[in-house]
Every structure is written in C-alpha cells, then in structure tokens.
Amino acid sequence: MKKIRKFVVLMLMGVLTLNSCSNEESVITPVSDDSESLIEARQSGEIDVLSEGVSAVIEEVYTNDELSSNSRMLDAVSYLPGCVTITTVVTAISKEKTIDFGEGCELPNGHIIKGIIYMSYQKDMTALTKEISVSFQNFYVNEISIQGVKTVFRERSNTNSNPQSTFNVDILVTWPDGAYASRVGERVREWIEGYGSGNWGDNVFLITGNRTTTFRNGNIRAGEVVQALRRELACNFLVSGIVELQRNNNMITLDFGDGLCDNEAIVTLSDGTTHVVYL
C-alpha cells in the first residue's frame, strides 16, 4: 500500500509539473477579445488619421494646379513647406507630378513625412471631373510605412456645389514595431470650407465611405462611416465623426469626438463598455 501511495503521489506531481510548464509556455500574456478589439480599433483609427494626412497633400498639390490654371490662384500660404520638392512633367495628354519629401519633412500639422508620392492626371485643367492616380515610394508618415495605390475621382463641384474627391484605396500600413494592416475601401472627401481662400488653415473636409481592414493576426473588420468624419486641416487629428467596425457578429464603434482637436477617440465595445484610445 505504501508503494502504491508513493507511486500515485509521484504521478500527481508529474502531472502538476507538466501542466505548470505547459501553461507558462503557452499562456504568458493572454489576449482577451476586448483587448484585441481595442487594439484593432486604435490601429483602424490611426490608419484613418494617416490616410487623411496623405489626402491633404494630394488635395493641396492638385488644387494649386487647378486654381493657377484657372487664374484663381491667390497669394496663397502653402500647406507644403519648402522642404518638399515638386517636379512636374507635362505630356501631350497628362501631368505627372513627383512630390519628394526627402529623408524627412515636417508639415504644419506636425506630421514628419519622408519618401515620394507620385500623381498622374489629365492635362486639361478645365475638365469638370478627373481621374487622379496616386502611388508611393519608400513613403513614411511619423515612421509608419504606407505602401500601395490610390485612385481619385475628382469633381470640381458636387451636388452641394463643393469640390469633392472620391478615393479608392488599396494600401498596406506598417508600424515601427512590425505590426501591420491592409486596407481597401472608398472614401468620399467633400471640401466644405476654405477652397480657394489661399489659407490652408481654414480648410475643412467631411469624409464618408466604407472600408475593410485586415490585421496582422488575420482578423478582418468591415468599417463604415455612420456620422461624417470632420477634418480641419489646422488639426493633426480628425475632430469628430463615428465609424462602425464589424467582425463576425460583433460590432464596435469608434467615435472621434465632439469637435476638439486632440488624439483621443472613444471605443464602444459590443457589450456596451467604453474605452478611451490614443491615436
């Protein structure tokens, strides 16, 4: 009986030791569904902010060309600083622009950009609508890499008599720590204030649309703007608007605020709990 009891004790100790080792190796820092949702919401919001920063550059370059070609250029204060080099090659039918930020160039909103944006569009600047092709080379915003392409359908005047750009996006965003996410989608950017004023600081845009974001862990979230995002060019961040993000049957919302210029957004999870994330 003593031998049997000793054998049983040794067996139990072996099982406990094995379980302990197994747990230490496989469950070091467990990730809950909530924390995963918060990470995905934050990354999605950061892509929104980055995408809007790039859109502002594209709008600036194209609009300056449009206004000067139509004799509407005022004594403008450019959004792009002197460290940006813009080269234009005109062909029989198109304009090819190279926007080179070099090894690092700070925009008025504080973004540090490096690398090159290529733009190509129809030569005729009097056209009411236009297709603009956009691509990137070694392009970074605040050390976050952006690769891929954008195509832009540009309208000089929409139904509200405002300039409007519809961006079709297919990009890969990579953070310095190796995290990455890809995004495809459509963003409609209506220029509601400041067009042609010559002062970039009064430019205001409303953004709507939808997109699908695929994260490094394989999770896919469909997103849709349910309350138009407001971008004031004088601010580094989106100041208001709400995006719904859905994965399977789980819905979360990302709220950019009530108009204040800050880097905070409110995430509401599917169970109704709310969290502040910093972009």
Q: Is the pLDDT assigned to residue 180 strictly greater than 60?
A: yes
**pLDDT, tens digit, for every residue of 239-268?**
999 999 998 788 999 999 999 999 999 999
Residue 165's nearest CA partner among 199, 130, 194, 140 is 130
Instruction: Read off the tokens for 232.
Output: 């004031």
Instruction: Read off the tokens for 231.
Output: 């971008």
Q: Could you tell me the residue ranges of all domains in the chain? A: 33-228
Residue 181's nearest CA partner among 128, 217, 211, 157 is 217
In the predicted model, what is the mean pLDDT of residues 78-106?
94
In the predicted model, what is the mean pLDDT of residues 110-133?
94
Q: Is the pLDDT assigned to residue 1 strictly greater than 60?
A: no
Model confidence, pTM: 0.82
Torsion angle, CA of 174/180/181/187, rounded to 10 degrees?
-20
In the predicted model, what is the mean pLDDT of residues 208-224?
95
Residue 55's nearest CA partner among 129, 154, 159 is 154
In the predicted model, what is the mean pLDDT of residues 145-156?
96
pLDDT band at 199 (very low <50, low <70, confident <90, very high): confident
pLDDT of residue 114: 97
Identify the residue with better confidence: 125 or 196.
125
In the predicted model, what is the mean pLDDT of residues 100-125?
93
Q: Is the pLDDT assigned to residue 8 strictly greater than 70?
A: no
Instruction: Read off the tokens for 268.
Output: 């509401």
